[in-house]
Amino acid sequence: MSSIARSLRLVALASAASFAFAPSAQAGDLTCKMSFDMAGWSAFYKTASGTGTVRCSNGQSMSVKVAAKGGGVTFGKNRIRNGFGEFANVGDIRDVLGSYATAEAHAGTVKSASAQAMTNGKVSLALSGKGEGWNLGVAFSRFTIEAR
C-alpha cells in the first residue's frame, strides 16, 4: 500500500472516529420552530407584543415573550394568532433569544397575511402569520425574543 493510500485511510478512520464520539448537535445543526400570538398598533411608532413557545429538534423547548418596536410612516392596529417562526443556524435553544433587525412594507384590512425574514447576526428567523386588523405603511423595527 502506498504512503498516500495509507495516509488517506488514516484520515478516513480518524474522521469516522470523531463522528462516533461527537455530540449529536453541532453548532447550527438544530431545527427550531416558534409558535406565537401577538397584538399591537402603530401611529408613526409601531409596537406589538405577545407570547410563544420555541421547540427544537433535540427536544428542548422554551416559553418566550415576543415584541416588535420601531417607527416609520405606519398606521394601524392588528393581531396575529397562530404565528409561525423558523430559525436557521441554531446550536442551542438559547441562540434564538435576542433582537432581530427587520424592515417591512405592509397594507391590509380585516384579514391579512404576512411573512418576514430577519437576522440577529448569526441566527436567521423567518416569520409568517395570519392576522386581523388594518395597517398601512413602511416601518423599520426590532423584533425581540426573551425567555419567559
In a domain, 71, yes or no: yes
Tell me which DSSP letter residue 94 carries: G
Mean pLDDT on 94-100: 96
| 135 or 124, which is more confident | 124
| pLDDT reported for residue 99 | 95
**Whole-number average pLDDT of the chain:** 76
Query: Do the domain assignments include residue 11?
Result: no
**How many domains are there within the chain?**
1
- As given in the structure block, the three cell numbers for residue 75 are 398606521
Is residue 141 included in any domain, yes or no?
yes
Q: Output the pLDDT for position 91.
A: 94
Q: Is residue 8 part of a domain?
A: no
Measured between alpha carbons, how far is 25 from 27 in angstroms, rounded to an integer?
Answer: 7
Indicate whether 87 belongs to any domain: yes
Does residue 18 lie in a domain region?
no
Query: Which residue range forms the structural domain that includes residue 44?
Result: 25-147
* pLDDT, tens only, 8-59: 233 333 333 333 333 334 555 899 999 999 988 877 777 889 999 999 999 9
Q: What mean pLDDT do residues 70-92 have?
A: 85
Is residue 5 in a domain? no
What is residue 78's predicted lDDT score, i.e. its pLDDT?
Answer: 81
Domain membership flag for residue 94: yes
pLDDT top residue among 101 and 108: 101
DSSP string, 46-84: EEEEEEEEEEETTS-EEEEEEEEEEEEEEEEEEEEEEEE
Query: Percent of the chain having pLDDT more than 70?
Result: 65
